Amino acid sequence: MSISESTAFRGTIVALGGGGFSVSETGESAIDDELVRMAARRIRGGAEDEAGAQSGFGASVGLPNVCFVPTASGDSRDYIERFEATFEARARTHVLSLFGQSPWDYQDPAMLLDMDLIYVGGGSTANLLSLWRRHGVDQRMREAAAGGTILAGISAGANCWFAASSTDSFGPLAPLNDGLGFLRGSACPHFHGEPGRKESFREWIAQGRLPGPGIAIDDHAAVVYVDGAATSVMVESAGAQAFVVDTGGRLHNLDEQGPVASVSQDG
């Protein structure tokens, strides 16, 4: 199966290698802007009305519901507040706090079914997966995606959707073969942004310690998947890219692997 063939999973996933509001000093992010547009198009049923096209965020029919899931960071208050400050003017913001963080408090993960966009934050991939399974968040995510909700995430929030990933959840970088498996193969965020990421990911796939093909995503880049197949790449910084690592550990630009459009968000 090539990287652009679909899987049994149904829905849209956007995997960010790094960037977005998480690291932006001003909160501005071209990739996050596009995520909001995608959510706005969902509530318009895919129609591009004149007012929505001019505003970019579908203001004519109301704001999309966007839920931040900060499990991987232990529901960091600073992270949640940064999300709200970034999105509150263009979305109805929600937070799923599995730690019962006040003032957001614990909510039933079924709330995810009412969202237009679910944005998963970075942190510990291993902790995220463990807690999600304990609280049934994994199943709710799958149900929400099947209903049209867009799933997105950065770093650990990108790793989680794949069958396996490269993670520093245990300190040093290590393979983690315990993902949700919504997307096949393995993932590596921060590919050129953190020491050792590139070398270890290619080696682990070549050795069979991680399943291939693997997806390697730079900071300020994101890969869009529809029904399990990679369909486009978004970048918000010059030089940011996404790659495929084949089973021999060889590196290829993602858009060389089939019908994948490179969509730059620079500017």
- Which has the closest alpha carbon to 66: 79, 83, 46, 47? 83
CA distance 45 to 149: 12
Tell me, rounded to whole angstroms, the distance of Cα 80 from its chain centroid: 16
User: How many CB atoms sit inside 10 A of residue 221's CB?
Assistant: 30
DSSP, collapsed to helix, strand or coil, labels residue 164 as strand
Q: Return the bridge partners of 241, or none.
A: none
CA distance 100 to 36: 26
CA distance 121 to 69: 6
The verdict on whether 155 is a catalytic residue reads: yes
User: How many CB atoms sit inside 10 A of residue 30's CB?
Assistant: 20
Q: Which of 155, 165, 169, 200 is catalytic?
A: 155
**DSSP element (H, E) containing 79:** helix 77-87
Tell me, rounded to whole angstroms, the distance of Cα 86 from its chain centroid: 17
- Owner of token pair 């794949």: 162
Q: Which of 94, 186, 190, 220 is catalytic?
A: 190
Question: Which of left, alpha, beta for 68 (phi over 0: left; psi -120 to 50: alpha)?
Answer: beta
Q: How deeply is 204 buried, as exposed, middle or buried, from its count of CB atoms within 10 A (0-12, 13-18, 19+)? A: buried
The verdict on whether 94 is a catalytic residue reads: no
Q: How deeply is 17 buried, as exposed, middle or buried, from its count of CB atoms within 10 A (0-12, 13-18, 19+)? A: buried
Task: Give the residue numbers marked as catalytic.
Answer: 155, 190
